[in-house]
């Protein structure tokens, strides 16, 4: 661990208490001048550290500052890391990376134009969430690329569970839920070369509502944050855990095991759901003026490609089965 991070750890353990420069130097085995330089670097990153002659240094408030240094030391897989104070969308930033000889990870303290699926926006207040995108050049084809979103959901769920002690669930295809409310969204995008037919870049954007913040009125009943974690955590810890889980699964890909875990974490299987898909609505005999309405169905299974196997519960295809590879669903409990 670097001198700067070791110092931060020491100051954090003694938050609010002064520690003399000499005591720090003795504990870390460095010079007083090295202590001063490390303190200056932490202050430059936004940490509020007070210094007082003859008393030493103290960390006033730990806050939750994203640290590229922390991530570089705690992400086990070789990658390049960019940390930004503010951006429109981390996925858009990741799209601009040309050199993917190593995976690129970009994080922002705030997003002003975070994007979700189907053109939706993702609420991204400053300091309250983890907004990160991972871009990499795949060495596999389209069939496996289609499983990237499912793998991302498993990685995010694992990381949240490990870092917070909470028990997140997955809603097909890419949302993470806690206690029936959305806490994390995932947006996977790919860029392909039309001439070669190869996928040249995959971008996985992950947004997690970490800490309590005012939610827009329209989200209050459907979204939440990592409420009442069983242990304290930081966004740095969570980001490193997500990256380690994702790139670990990518390097040692096991389709059967991944899908088994995806299914075990799903909370929709066996439940009655609503499907929103105009093409399917047309196929069950809906008139044109009702194509945007939800279609009643039951979630049966997740197939070997991550598709959702459903049974229609209405219309001329009632009791028929179909596998969805894309689309939007909601869970509806309490139907007769």
Mark which of 217, 234, 265 sits at the end of a domain: 265
Mark which of 250, 265, 280 sits at the end of a domain: 265
Per-residue pLDDT at 164: 96
Does one domain contain both 234 and 278? no
Q: How many CB atoms lie within 10 A of CB 304?
A: 9
Does one domain contain both 175 and 101? yes
Q: How many CB atoms lie within 10 A of CB 220?
A: 11
Any domain includes 305? yes
Domain that holds residue 114: 68-265
Any domain includes 26? yes
Any domain includes 129? yes
Does one domain contain both 78 and 185? yes
Q: How many CB atoms lie within 10 A of CB 126?
A: 14
Any domain includes 281? yes
Does one domain contain both 204 and 97? yes
Any domain includes 306? yes
Does one domain contain both 172 and 53? no
- CATH number, domain at 24? 1.10.10.10
Does one domain contain both 246 and 122? yes
Per-residue pLDDT at 145: 86
Q: Which residues contact 125 (CB under 8 A, 6 or more apart)?
A: 110, 213, 214
Does one domain contain both 193 and 316? no
d(CA 312, CA 262): 23
- pLDDT averages per 10-residue partition of the chain, 336 residues: 82 86 93 93 81 90 80 95 93 95 96 66 79 95 88 98 97 93 94 81 96 78 90 93 98 96 97 94 92 95 95 94 91 58
Any domain includes 241? yes
Q: How many CB atoms lie within 10 A of CB 174?
A: 21
Does one domain contain both 203 and 278? no
Does one domain contain both 260 and 162? yes
- CATH number, domain at 247? 3.30.930.10
Using the structure block, give the residue that is written with the tokens 């008139």.
Answer: 287
Dihedral angle at the C-alpha atoms of 45, 129, 14, 47, nearest 10 degrees? 20
Mark which of 24, 44, 61 sits at the end of a domain: 61
What pLDDT digit, counting tens, does each position of 37-54 carry? 999 988 877 778 999 998
Does one domain contain both 81 and 230? yes
Per-residue pLDDT at 115: 62
Q: Three-state SS for 322?
A: strand
Strand arrangement of the beta sheet that strand 308-312 belongs to? 321-324, 308-312, 295-302, 272-276, 328-331
The encoded tokens of residue 97 equal 């990376």
Does one domain contain both 226 and 85? yes
Task: Judge contact between 83 and 68, C-beta under 8 A.
Answer: yes
Per-residue pLDDT at 62: 63
Any domain includes 288? yes
Number of residues that this document lists for the chain: 336
Cα→Cα distances 314→85, 244, 272, 283, 286, Å? 49, 43, 12, 11, 10
Any domain includes 336? no
Does one domain contain both 156 and 283? no
Measured over the CA atoms of residue 170, residue 174, residue 176 and residue 182, the dihedral's sign is negative
pTM of the model: 0.84
Q: What's the number of domains the chain is made of?
A: 3
């Amino acid at each position: 661990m670097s001198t700067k991070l070791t110092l931060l750890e020491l100051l954090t353990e003694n938050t609010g208490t002064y520690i003399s420069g000499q005591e720090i130097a003795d504990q870390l085995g460095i010079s007083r001048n090295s202590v001063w330089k490390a303190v200056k670097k932490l202050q430059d990153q936004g940490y509020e550290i007070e210094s007082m002659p003859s008393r030493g240094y103290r960390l006033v408030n730990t806050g939750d500052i994203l640290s590229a240094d922390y991530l570089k030391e705690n992400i086990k897989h070789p990658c390049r890391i960019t940390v930004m104070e503010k951006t429109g969308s981390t996925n858009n930033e990741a799209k601009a990376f040309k050199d993917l000889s190593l995976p690129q990870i970009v994080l922002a303290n705030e997003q002003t134009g975070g994007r979700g699926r189907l053109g939706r926006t993702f609420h991204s207040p400053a300091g309250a969430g983890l907004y990160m995108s991972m871009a990499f050049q795949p060495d596999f084809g389209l069939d496996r690329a289609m499983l990237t979103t499912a793998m991302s959901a498993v990685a995010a769920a694992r990381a949240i569970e490990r870092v917070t002690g909470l028990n997140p669930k997955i809603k097909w295809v890419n949302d993470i839920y806690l206690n029936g409310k959305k806490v994390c969204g995932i947006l996977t995008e790919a860029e392909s070369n039309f001439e070669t037919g190869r996928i040249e870049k995959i971008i996985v954007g992950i947004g997690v509502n970490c800490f309590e913040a005012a939610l827009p009125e329209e989200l209050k009943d459907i979204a939440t944050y990592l409420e009442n974690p069983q242990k304290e955590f930081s966004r740095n810890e969570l980001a490193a855990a997500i990256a380690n889980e994702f790139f670990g699964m990518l390097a040692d890909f096991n389709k059967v095991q991944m899908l088994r875990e995806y299914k075990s974490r799903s909370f929709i299987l066996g439940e009655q759901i609503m499907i929103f898909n105009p093409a399917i609505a047309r196929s069950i005999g809906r008139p044109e003026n009702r194509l945007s309405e939800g279609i009643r169905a039951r979630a049966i299974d997740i197939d070997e490609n991550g598709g959702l196997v459903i049974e229609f519960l209405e219309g001329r295809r009632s009791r028929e089965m179909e596998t969805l590879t894309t689309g939007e669903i909601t869970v509806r409990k309490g139907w007769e």
